[in-house]
């Protein structure tokens, strides 16, 4: 089984939490890892090299290969520099794991533009910037694995996280299209929805719940999705506390009208439109 051995993996936000676990497992399985971390706090403020350096040291001390990168995913230049770090150190890039994230939780009523922009720029734009910089290399070599990090806050909603939820649903829209566009180049794009005890969730979940959600449970899924053997694409997989499950939108049979219906006609058929009995997986319009 080839897995990820010898592959070059970028893991953003891997100075701690989930990203650190991903990076360590990639290295353990024989991948060369770019450990990217801005070194900021949970809300995205501040910066430093210590977090990324520490993970690189752990990997090297265990016999693996890794380099540190401290660039900001939220800018185009940052995305380019992260990918360039992989090329400079290891000659190429094969795997991009978009994990970097921040939180600025506040109810939508109290949300300001700065709180909205900060979160969207790291999660959605950050995923775009790094993946966009790597995409030509992946296409050129006809091989690549892209993993993005979504969230149940995007899939199902969560009070006080409209900025975070919108960004996290945005990355699902991105991989849906990347899966189609990458197909003929042997480039897959998938999303994970992790539930884990990290500094991002330490004050959101009860202590007893957090104790069962070791971040290490999530990383085997990431490494599998990034492996040569996994050719599934455009999928969203939930992972947390030992539970792994596919998440997919379903489309109901619905109601069909021969002519343009009135709002009253829609209302009369509402129960049929909403009935999920016999629903099927949604399908793209093309591809």
Catalytic residue positions, numbered: 164
Alpha helices (H) in 91-206, listed in sequence order: 113-120, 126-141, 152-155, 162-182
The span from the CA of 10 to the CA of 50, in Å, is 18
Residue 233: partners with Cβ closer than 8 Å, 6 or more residues away: 175, 179, 182, 183, 188, 189, 190
The span from the CA of 187 to the CA of 209, in Å, is 36
| Phi, psi angles (nearest 5°) of residue 194 | -80, 145
Alpha carbon separation from 66 to 6, 27, 55, 122 (Å, rounded): 12, 8, 9, 23
> Which residues share a beta bridge with 194?
239
Please state, as a whole number, how many other Cβ atoms lie within 10 Å of the Cβ of residue 257: 10
Residue 204: partners with Cβ closer than 8 Å, 6 or more residues away: none
Coil, strand or helix at 260: coil
């Amino acid at each position: 089984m080839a897995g990820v051995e010898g592959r070059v993996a970028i893991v953003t936000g891997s100075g701690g939490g989930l990203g650190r676990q991903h990076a360590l497992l990639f290295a353990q399985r024989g991948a060369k890892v770019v450990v990217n971390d801005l070194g900021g706090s949970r809300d995205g403020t501040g910066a430093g090299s210590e977090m990324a350096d520490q993970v690189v040291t752990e990997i090297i001390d265990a016999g693996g290969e890794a380099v540190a990168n401290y660039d900001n995913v939220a800018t185009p230049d940052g995305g380019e520099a992260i990918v360039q770090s992989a090329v400079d150190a290891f000659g190429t890039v094969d795997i991009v794991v978009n994990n970097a994230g921040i939180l600025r939780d506040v109810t939508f009523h109290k949300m300001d533009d700065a709180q909205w922009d900060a979160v969207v720029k790291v999660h959605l734009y950050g995923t775009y910037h790094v993946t966009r910089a790597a995409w030509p290399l992946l296409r050129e070599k006809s091989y690549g694995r892209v993993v993005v990090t979504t969230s149940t806050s995007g899939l199902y909603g969560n009070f006080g996280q409209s900025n975070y939820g919108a960004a996290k649903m945005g990355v699902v829209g991105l991989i849906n299209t990347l899966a189609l566009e990458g197909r003929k180049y042997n480039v897959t794009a998938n999303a994970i929805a992790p539930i884990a005890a990290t500094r991002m969730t330490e004050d959101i979940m009860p202590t007893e719940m957090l104790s069962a959600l070791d971040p290490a449970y999530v990383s085997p899924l990431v490494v599998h999705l990034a492996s040569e053997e996994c050719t599934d694409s455009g999928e969203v997989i939930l992972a947390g506390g030992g539970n792994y499950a596919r998440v997919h939108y379903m489309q109901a049979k619905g109601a069909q009208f021969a002519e343009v219906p009135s709002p009253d006609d829609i209302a009369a058929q509402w129960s049929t439109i909403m009935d999920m009995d016999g629903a099927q997986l949604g399908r793209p319009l093309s591809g």
